[in-house]
Amino acid sequence: MKEQVQIFDTTLRDGEQVPGCKLGTAQKIEIARELELLGVDVIEAGFPVSSPGDFEAVQQIASIIQNTTVCALSRAVEKDIESAAEALKYAQNGRIHTGIGTSDFHIFQKLNSSRKAVIEQGVKAVKKARNLCAEVEFYAEDAGRTDNFFLAQVVEAMIDAGARIINIPDTTGYCLPHQYGEKIAFLMNHVPNIDRAVLSTHCHNDLGLATANSIAGVQAGARQVECTINGVGERAGNTSLEEVVMILRQHRQIQLSTNIKTEQLTQISRIVEAEMNMPVQRNKAIVGENAFAHSSGIHQDGVIKSRETYEIIDPKEVGASNSQIILTARSGRAALKYRAKLLQIELNKDQLNDAYDRFLEVADQQRQISDFQLKELLNNVLVCHAR
């Protein structure tokens, strides 16, 4: 029996911290609705104390969304927690996400505090949040660079104070997958009250390891993954939701599943791309424009014979259009014949050879051949052969 991993989407909070990607309330509501339909378990809707606009967006999303938990971020500061609770007042299922930096960099250089004082401040914040909201998540900011023994003390204290979800952010994207996995395993084995909480991954992508680290985290016992659509987020971004979900689906031996309706992944990716004005790189895993496109002759021949030769995911599973055979100078006869057939043009052997020679002449001059050009080229071949 597979265990569930909760998907905590933070596109509207951490994702929206990207410069130039500010969303209005109406856009946030539209994305929140799509996230609910997608099947995410938690939507982090914003950071209410940060601005009146963020407060309003969280408040409206909390009153509209019915089936998904709506979460609001706060620092471990009274006025933040009060603002988060107020914004979540009408939520069916609300969660306050509060926390504080726990690495020595944060404690001594940012907060000018001490380890003891940070634990005290965290405990106070969690207790305050628990008085105002039924569900509280605690984040240990920069947990990726926090000493594991100290982190275990922090986690134990926050669980005792009432936090039911403990977020272990690799805020700077520093960890290697085995280190992040070992950190989660360490907490699972050294925190005496860990059975009363769920550990959550929250990985940034500064070294391109956010997805790998999140997977290492769930393999070590975390049961919530914090992520964003298209991996949007500060600097190099957050863990990409679609990557985590499809990895768990592809690798069934991990024995973990999510509630995500994967056939909606491409559509929501396009919506977030457009609303945030944040283009998705063409070769982005799962949702990039080239994710199911094949241009070299050897690969095209394989895919035409059997899709599985060069594709591990059926494009339909993620709501993408069919595998694409792109005609370029590296394409072979099989691809040309296949594309001609899609245009309802059947070619015999001589016609195909002739068409291929003409095609290569054009393809050498340009990157890609469009359907329009192809049709014209093939019609010319058919006319010549009919004479």
Q: Which residue is nearest to Zn ion (CB)?
A: 14
14 binds Zn ion (CB under 5 A): yes
Residue from 46, 122, 169, 181 binding ligand KIV (CB under 6 A): 169
Instruction: Give strand pairing partners of 138.
Output: 98, 166
Cβ-based nearer residue to ligand KIV, 100 or 352:
100
284 binds ligand KIV (CB under 6 A): no
DSSP string computed for 272-307: HHHHHT-PPPTT-TTTSTTTTEE-SHHHHHHHHH-G
Question: By three-state DSSP, how is residue 121 classified?
Answer: helix
Footprint on residues 64-83 left by ligand KIV (CB under 6 A)? none
Cβ-based nearer residue to ligand KIV, 171 or 295:
171
Stretch of 153-161, 163-171, 186-194, 369-377 contacting ligand KIV, by CB under 6 A: 163-171
142 binds Zn ion (CB under 5 A): no
106 binds ligand KIV (CB under 6 A): no
41 binds Zn ion (CB under 5 A): no
For helices 115-132 and 148-161, give the axis angle rounded to 10 degrees.
30
Stretch of 164-172, 184-192, 261-269, 348-356 contacting ligand KIV, by CB under 6 A: 164-172
Residue from 9, 54, 141, 243 binding ligand KIV (CB under 6 A): 141
Strands (E), the chain: 3-4, 6-9, 42-46, 69-75, 94-101, 135-141, 165-170, 198-203, 224-227, 256-257, 293-294, 324-325
For helices 333-342 and 371-386, give the axis angle rounded to 10 degrees.
100
Question: By three-state DSSP, how is residue 146 classified?
Answer: coil
Cβ-based nearer residue to ligand KIV, 14 or 41:
14
Measured between alpha carbons, how far is 260 from 57 in angstroms, rounded to an integer? 24
Measured between alpha carbons, how far is 42 from 342 in angstroms, rounded to an integer? 43
C-alpha closest to that of 290 among 210, 227, 368, 359: 368
For the bound state, the minimum distance from the C-beta of residue 80 to ligand KIV, rounded and expressed in Å, comes to 11
Q: What tokens were used for 16?
A: 């929206």
44 binds ligand KIV (CB under 6 A): no
Decide which of ligand KIV, Zn ion, none touches 237; Cβ closer than 5 to 8 Å per partner kind.
none
DSSP state of 367: S
202 binds ligand KIV (CB under 6 A): yes
Residue from 59, 83, 102, 171 binding ligand KIV (CB under 6 A): 171
Residue from 14, 80, 135, 242 binding ligand KIV (CB under 6 A): 14
**Which residues of the chain form contacts with Zn ion (CB under 5 A)?**
14
**Which residues of the chain form contacts with ligand KIV (CB under 6 A)?**
14, 139, 141, 167, 169, 171, 202, 204
